[in-house]
């Protein structure tokens, strides 16, 4: 994988697939870029797909400073600079979506549009905070095996995907994983959402009850928002519901490229999706 130097002695690895409109994918800690394996396969024939490894993951150097969303956002800017891209669409999954929000807040002129898969702008309810706290505890164990097994099993759609994510988690830098999870507990950009001037697409599993309140916060705060609920899906949508996710991402990117009018909210007509909003 190509590498870009993001700080003295620190490099981040990335890979580019396809050509056309650029879409850069931001993973959450632990699983690595392999979590977007189906997006690479499904979208690269239609646009330029960029994936990268967080510091301390895969071929990226461990971070000499605590890994936070602003640090990752700065690394993303370095990748765009290395590719001579002034702007790109950004797509983040779970905590990676929070990084997308931070990037938009910090570097709004570098973003064509943002896509958040199972995203949240804050982590303030007890359920999601308990899950993050549990992940931190697992990352602090002598081995990353427990956390790696949990993350890979939750997200993988086949044996190959499981193997790739499990291997990434097992060898990830423990401090980088711990610090990024810990930062999620203190991060909150909800008040900044109304200032986001770029078009946004939010995608949630209709059965992901943990994110109900966060979906409403994002819908209420973001001024230019398209919302998609995937019926029968929970949190782990990039791989397990890849066809639906890829179709919606491609439609959003092409919608923006065609310059068509913006649709504020898109919901599935299925009963399960409407029940999610109650």
- Hey, what are 137's tokens? 């505890």
Q: What CATH number should be reported for the domain whose range is 3-276? A: 3.40.50.1820
pTM of the model: 0.92
Of the ranges 60-69, 110-119, 265-274, which one carries the lowest mean pLDDT score? 265-274
* Cα–Cα–Cα angle for 127, 159, 57, rounded to 5 degrees: 60
3-state secondary structure of 247: helix
Dihedral class, residue 248 (left if φ above 0, else alpha if ψ from -120 to 50, else beta): alpha
From the list 210, 91, 226, 99, the residue with the least C-alpha distance to 154 is 210
Query: Hey, where are the domains in the chain?
Result: 3-276
From the list 269, 125, 153, 275, the residue with the least C-alpha distance to 210 is 125
From the list 195, 160, 182, 262, the residue with the least C-alpha distance to 152 is 160
From the list 81, 48, 54, the residue with the least C-alpha distance to 67 is 54
- Hey, what are 250's tokens? 């491609």
**pLDDT tens by residue, 70-125:** 999 999 999 999 999 999 999 999 999 999 999 999 999 999 999 999 999 999 99
**The pLDDT of residue 278:** 30
């Amino acid at each position: 994988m190509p590498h870009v130097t993001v700080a003295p002695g620190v490099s981040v690895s990335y890979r580019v697939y396809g050509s056309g409109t650029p879409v850069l994918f931001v993973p959450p800690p632990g699983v690595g870029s392999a979590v977007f394996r189906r997006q690479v396969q499904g979208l690269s024939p239609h646009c330029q797909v960029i994936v990268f490894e967080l510091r301390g993951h895969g071929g990226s150097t461990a971070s000499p400073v605590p890994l936070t969303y602003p640090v990752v956002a700065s690394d993303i800017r370095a990748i765009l600079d290395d590719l001579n891209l002034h702007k790109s669409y950004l797509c983040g999954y779970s905590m990676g979506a929070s990084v997308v929000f931070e990037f938009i807040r910090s570097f709004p002129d570098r973003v064509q549009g943002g896509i958040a898969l199972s995203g949240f702008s804050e982590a303030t309810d007890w359920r999601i905070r308990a899950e993050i706290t549990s992940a931190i505890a697992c990352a602090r164990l002598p081995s990353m095996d427990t956390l790696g097994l949990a993350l890979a099993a939750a997200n993988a759609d086949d044996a190959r995907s499981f193997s790739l994510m499990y291997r990434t988690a097992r060898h990830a830098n423990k401090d980088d994983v711990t610090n990024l999870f810990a930062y999620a507990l203190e991060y909150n950009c909800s008040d900044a959402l109304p200032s986001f001037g770029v078009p946004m697409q939010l995608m949630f599993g209709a059965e992901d009850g943990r994110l109900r309140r966060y979906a409403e916060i994002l819908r209420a705060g973001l001024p230019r928002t398209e919302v998609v609920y995937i019926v029968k899906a929970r949190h782990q949508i990039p791989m397990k519901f890849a066809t639906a996710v890829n179709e919606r991402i491609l439609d959003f990117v092409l919608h923006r490229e065609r310059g068509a009018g913006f649709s504020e909210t898109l919901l599935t007509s299925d009963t399960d999706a409407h029940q999610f909003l109650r």
